[in-house]
Amino acid sequence: MTFAFYTSEEHFSHQTEDDHPEHAMRIMAIEQELKSRNLWEQLIHANGEEANLPDILRAHSKGYVEQLHLIQPKHGHIYVDEDTAMTPGSLKAALWSAGSCTTALDALTANKFSSAFVATRPPGHHAEHKKAMGFCFFNNVAISALRAADIHHYQRIAVLDFDAHQGNGTIDILGNDQRFLLLSSFQHPFYPYTHYQESKYTNLINVPLASGAGSATFRAAIEERWLPALKHFGPEIIIVSAGFDGHKDDPMAELNLTDDDYRWLGELIHKHTNPKRVPILSILEGGYNLNALGRSVSEYINGAK
């Protein structure tokens, strides 16, 4: 199985302050841990590219994109909401973040690799059609999923999101589009407090987890709720919002997952898709304790290889 690791140096352009949880050291921590485990040399390394405007506009309104460019500061930083810092290089980084994901997608659809992990920032799954929030400007997963459907003509695209925070933006953009199956596990009640309920969406399956939930509860819920839906849907490609802030050491959530849970997730997704040779695109979302993030991503990749 060929496994690609995508990133881009342009993520450094998004220069959040040192005390902001979403900062450049996140990517560096992942790379350092992969190297320390001798996983680095087992991966095929590739660089992303800047996203093109048609890809962005499949997921976001033209007015929203124009507004972001208008408000981007020339110096210092502003906050587009209480959490999301914007600096002079933030949109450049966001375009390269999305473009790294679509570049990886194109390589997967051309059978260059069977799986890819995109270590990128800023993340994306909270960005809605017309709204930036939760550290996110452009929704990398939704942009990739819509490109997979409209350009590569996939008709059954499964989007899996195991971040501790529900991917409200992905649901806002892809909800009720029957080309997509949306599987979401998250702490509840918790940020973003939008409570996207299954009753409003015919293609959404939620796995809400109470504060303090650990491995046994998480794994049982995934097996009960996600696996039957995946089997029935029969995806042609899987796109993963890979958020690691459910780890017990992470300061941004209150779940009690462990390194081994992320290895288990990688294995689970791989086992489901391997017999059918379904390509898997995993895209980094949350994870803010640097040590836990590096270990968890390494375990996830090791399980998915």
Alpha-carbon distance of 294 to 266, in angstroms, equals: 15
What pLDDT score does 272 carry?
79
Alpha-carbon distance of 59 to 147, in angstroms, equals: 9
Tens of pLDDT, residue by residue over 85-118, are 999 999 999 999 999 999 999 999 999 999 999 9
Percent of the chain with pLDDT over 70: 99
Percent of the chain with pLDDT over 90: 94
Alpha-carbon distance of 145 to 132, in angstroms, equals: 19
- Cβ atoms 137, 84 nearer than 8 A: yes
Alpha-carbon distance of 290 to 273, in angstroms, equals: 30
What pLDDT score does 68 carry?
98
What pLDDT score does 142 carry?
99
Alpha-carbon distance of 28 to 43, in angstroms, equals: 16
Q: Span 8-33, mean pLDDT? A: 95
Q: Which of 11, 23, 60, 126 is catalytic?
A: 126
Provide the Cα torsion 82, 86, 92, 93; round to 10°: -60
- Cβ atoms 119, 5 nearer than 8 A: yes
Tens of pLDDT, residue by residue over 114-135, are 999 999 999 999 999 999 999 9
Q: Span 133-145, mean pLDDT? A: 98
Strand partners, 209: 187
Q: Is 11 a catalytic residue?
A: no
What pLDDT score does 1 carry?
64
Say whether pLDDT at 78 is over 70.
yes
Strand partners, 46: 6
Q: Alpha-carbon Rg of the chain, whole angstroms?
A: 17
17 or 185: which carries more pLDDT confidence? 185
What pLDDT score does 101 carry?
98
At residue 207 the predicted structure's pLDDT band, cuts being 50, 70 and 90, is: very high
Q: Span 140-149, mean pLDDT? A: 99
Tens of pLDDT, residue by residue over 164-197, are 999 999 999 999 999 999 999 999 999 999 878 8
Alpha-carbon distance of 186 to 255, in angstroms, equals: 9
- Cβ atoms 21, 282 nearer than 8 A: no
Listed in sequence order, the residues at least 6 apart from 184 whose beta carbon sits closer than 8 Å to its beta carbon are: 161, 166, 167, 170, 171, 196, 204, 205, 206, 207
Among 113, 182, 92, 98, smallest CA distance to 147 is for 98
Among 98, 97, 115, 109, smallest CA distance to 44 is for 115
What pLDDT score does 156 carry?
98
What pLDDT score does 18 carry?
83
Q: Span 199-210, mean pLDDT? A: 95
- Distances in whole angstroms, Cα of residue 212 to Cα of each of 206, 238, 259, 299: 18, 28, 16, 22
**Chain centroid to CA 48: how far?**
15
Angle subtended by helix axes 290-304 and 259-273, to nearest 10: 30
Among 52, 90, 85, smallest CA distance to 69 is for 90
- Cβ atoms 259, 296 nearer than 8 A: yes
- Distances in whole angstroms, Cα of residue 121 to Cα of each of 52, 86, 270, 284: 17, 13, 24, 8
- Cβ atoms 208, 215 nearer than 8 A: no
What pLDDT score does 194 carry?
80
Triad 297, 300, 302: Cα angle to 5°: 105
For the chain, which residues make up each domain, given as ranges?
3-304
The whole-chain average pLDDT of the chain stands at: 96
Q: Which CATH superfamily is domain 3-304 in?
A: Histone deacetylase domain (3.40.800.20)
What pLDDT score does 197 carry?
85
Strand partners, 242: 284
